[in-house]
Structure 1
Amino acid sequence: MAMTMSTKLRVHIRWMIRRDMTEVLDIERLSFEFPWLEEDFIRSLRQRNCIGMVAEQGDRVVGFMIYELHKTRLHLLNFAVAPNVRRRAVGDQMIRKLVGKLSSQRRTKITLEVRETNLDAQLFFRQSGFVAVDVLRDYYDDSPEDAYLMQLTHETKSHSMMDGGYRRLAG
């Protein structure tokens, strides 16, 4: 389903800073049944290989992503868009930013896990060019749910980024 330009919300994607945490935590709580706590964000972001970015529209944060840098891949740990701006291409713009960090010489893929019950996230990432490559049994500590390991490789990124309109809910 293609999105018209009038519904697309243009955002600025930048590094996450400490003062973004209140808005990020609000989006997190509204997006997930088992949300990360502030300590989870801090613990992740203190790691040398972990990066946080936010999507900003005007002076408010409307989305965020946390990812790890590994030798040959990027690993998306957390990704969400504020409920009031979903399906307006915010998630698409964040994924495009992340995909832009891939190269054929170094980091060639992006990986992530998504809950088996989070169909909206599965569909969003699939429409963004990710494919499910494995099922991770009893993956989560907070529930007996399985997860799908999904990945996008550098070779498939140009094909997956051709359509500008994607369905999005928090992943």
Structure 2
Amino acid sequence: MEQAKQTSVGVHIRWMIRRDMPAVLGIEQNCFEFAWTEKDFIRCLRQRNCIGMVAEKDDEIVGFMIYELHKNRLHILNFAVHEKCRRQGVGNAMCSKLFGKLSHERRNRIMLEVRETNLDAQLFFKSLGFRAISVLRDFYDDTVEDAYLMQFRYQPSAEELTAPQNRISRLAG
């Protein structure tokens, strides 16, 4: 029930395009003391394994995420929701999109770093099933602040766990 409520916020998640940059930068600067610049975004998004997504509500960009694809994991590099749209399911919708990219066989976890002072982000990701797995000392270039390395591990369904066995037994029979 809770999940249905969260996804009914009318949020559409799509690929980030160049003309989204002014809205993304506005959210970034509003959300973070040490904000990424446009050059930071462009440098990151030009990498082959880096993907940008935006969350739209009523044709307005209300959130974004930047993540990297790795062989066995996804790594969130930047994630923000406009302050007027927080606690309305926007962040959940963006994370649900990432959860849908996980599988038992391939990418089975999502990683991210969260500033030690960003309690809202820590609690948000914890509520989605992320766990802090280590402390990264003096992680940021702009401060001496530490970060928590957080991880979400994919939990395969019973069907997924038994599917290979079912295929083998059908082939053997």
Which bin holds the TM-score, normalised by the shorter protein? Answer: 0.7 to 0.9
Partner of 1:108: 108
For normalisation by structure 1, the TM-score amounts to 0.87
Alignment deviations for residues 9-64 of structure 1 (CA, whole Å, 9 cap, x no partner): 22000000000000000000000010000000000000000000000112110000
Task: State the identity as a percent.
Answer: 65
Contact 2:103–2:156 (CA under 8 A) maintained in structure 1: no
Within 2, Cα distance between the matches of 1:3 and 1:151?
20
Partner of 2:148: 148
Within 2, Cα distance between the matches of 1:103 and 1:134?
24
Write out aligned runs for 1:10-89 (5 A).
Answer: 10-89=10-89
Contact 1:136–1:149 (CA under 8 A) maintained in structure 2: yes
Aligned length: 156
Partner of 2:92: 92
Within 2, Cα distance between the matches of 1:5 and 1:48?
35
Partner of 2:117: 117
RMSD of aligned Cα (Å): 2.0
- Report runs of 4+ in structure 1 exceeding 2 Å deviation: 2-6
Q: CA deviation at 1:131?
A: 0.1
Alignment deviations for residues 43-93 of structure 1 (CA, whole Å, 9 cap, x no partner): 000000000000011211000000000000000000000011111010011
Partner of 2:128: 128
Structure 2 residue matching 1:155: 3-state secondary structure: coil
Which structure's relative contact order is higher, taking Cα pairs within 8 Å and 6+ residues apart?
Answer: 1
For normalisation by structure 2, the TM-score amounts to 0.86
Within 1, Cα distance between the matches of 2:16 and 2:71?
22
